[in-house]
Chains A and B, each alone.
Chain A
């Protein structure tokens, strides 16, 4: 006797009826899930509050006579941080109720923006290094603590560039992996251009 191609009964039984000897999804597990959810929410609220506080402080500073360029730079930074915070939560959990393809496309989009953010960070850090170098030529280097301050600034920017480049590489790998998963779902050959 042959089993019809659309009959999955025996496989379904083997799949679902085996006793599960792993640790239970018990009350402790549920508490851990709730704790993670709570911490994520607190983290999100703290990031939002931090960005809003920077914006409020700069508004107040402007009112109290803070130089306009400094206040505008701080305001732009605060708005950018708020935007990044809101963007990073985009699509979660709403998109998880969509199709797998939509979830993967969203993940690719997030990784792409993350890579742009990192490359923008590299450019900003390089601009900061150029700015520091110009300041160095205009400063009396014989004055006490000048050299350590500038050296510290350059080291900090160098570390930032390393961090941004690492993040950009990671985002690139994520884009490639998510694209490969999307191609696999659609049964398309992967595009080698995005895998490099």
Chain B
């Protein structure tokens, strides 16, 4: 399979994950779109480096996170004129059930973005289904540190989603 086909298959399979990673680092829609392009470009360029020693999903999640973390720093260095639209409501009217799901997802997204960077990365990778050992490898941390950070991240997410429940 050629590089183009590999990339298209990769997007079909993992495009959702890449978009969710971008959304965890950038709330503004336009900026998020730019970040998605940055991530895709980084993945496109890094793809020939994938030697198969780790699953492709693992590889592209690592590249996407590394691109996103430099995006966060760059945005901090050159802040936008308008503040992040963290609480932007969805503009498309949807059925009640879908709205509830969307609302939970949006609140979860805001809660993830509000996490400090040290907790956001392991939390996001866990939400994407990666195991603590894989996360430790990707982030260059030891598994114990990952477990501790995940416990703190989960407590912070629960508190953000259910402010009345203190764990």
The chain A residues found within 8 Å of chain B, CB to CB, are 5-6, 8, 11-12, 14-25, 27, 29-30, 32-34, 36-37, 92-104, 107, 170, 173-174, 176-178, 180-181, 184-187
Contact = CB atoms under 8 A, between A and B. Distances in A.
Interface in B21-46: 29, 33, 36-37, 40-42, 44-46
B101 A100 contact: no
Contact of A97 (B4, B11, B63, B104): B63
Contacts of B16: 16, 20
Q: Is the interface of B mostly helix, strand, loop or mixed?
A: helix
Interface of B: 4, 7-8, 11, 15-16, 18-20, 29, 33, 36-37, 40-42, 44-46, 49, 59, 62-63, 65-67, 69-70, 72-74, 76-78, 90, 92, 98, 101-102, 104-105, 108, 112, 116-118, 121, 126-129, 138-140, 147, 150-151, 154-155, 157
B128 A5 contact: no
Contact of A37 (B19, B36, B44, B49): B44
24 contacts: A5-B151, A8-B127, A15-B105, A15-B112, A15-B128, A16-B20, A21-B90, A29-B40, A30-B40, A34-B44, A36-B41, A92-B45, A93-B63, A96-B46, A96-B66, A97-B63, A100-B69, A104-B73, A174-B73, A177-B76, A177-B77, A178-B77, A181-B76, A184-B118
Contacts of B42: 93, 96
A187 B44 contact: no
A98 B66 contact: yes
A11, A14, A30, A107, most chain B CB atoms within 10 A: A11
Contact of B40 (A23, A33, A99, A104): A33
Contacts of A14: 101, 104-105, 108
A103 B59 CA distance: 15
B49 to A, nearest CB: 6
Contacts of B112: 15
Contact of A94 (B33, B49, B105, B126): B49
